[in-house]
């Protein structure tokens, strides 16, 4: 399984100092501050953990995640959509739709040649 990397983030720590991390830590994680020479909690600027349910509309695929980033949730939904050509929804904790992955056509050039059998 490959690791999905976020972009480097400029985070603000509880001690008041700022730092750049690659990959970005989660808000609430404890990291080492080189200016204080002590550990401090990430206050802002990091990635947010969300609670989501990823579910497919055509099959029984459904997963609940407590601590996941929105990017990882979208990628997991897209992987199922690409692999099985199903419509997958990512629903947040409050029941609101966060993301919906819909299968798309492979390419316009194949639509010109129906004898190939690809639509």
Domains of the chain, by residue range, sit at 9-44, 50-101
55-100 pLDDT tens trace = 999 999 999 988 888 888 999 999 999 899 999 999 988 888 989 9
Q: Any idea which of 17-31, 37-51, 57-71, 98-112 has the lowest mean pLDDT?
A: 98-112
Cα torsion through 78, 80, 85, 88, rounded to 10:
-70
Record the pTM. 0.56
């Amino acid at each position: 399984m490959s690791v999905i990397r976020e972009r480097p983030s400029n985070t603000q720590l509880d001690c008041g100092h700022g730092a750049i991390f690659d990959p970005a830590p989660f808000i609430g994680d404890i990291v080492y501050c080189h200016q204080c020479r002590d550990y401090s909690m990430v206050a802002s600027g990091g990635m947010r953990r969300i609670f989501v349910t990823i579910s497919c509309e055509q099959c029984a695929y459904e997963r609940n995640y407590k601590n996941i980033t929105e990017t990882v949730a979208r990628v997991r939904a897209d992987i199922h959509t690409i692999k099985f050509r199903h419509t997958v929804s990512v629903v947040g904790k409050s029941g609101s739709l966060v993301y919906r992955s819909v299968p798309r056509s492979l390419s316009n050039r194949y639509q010109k040649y129906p004898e190939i059998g690809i639509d």
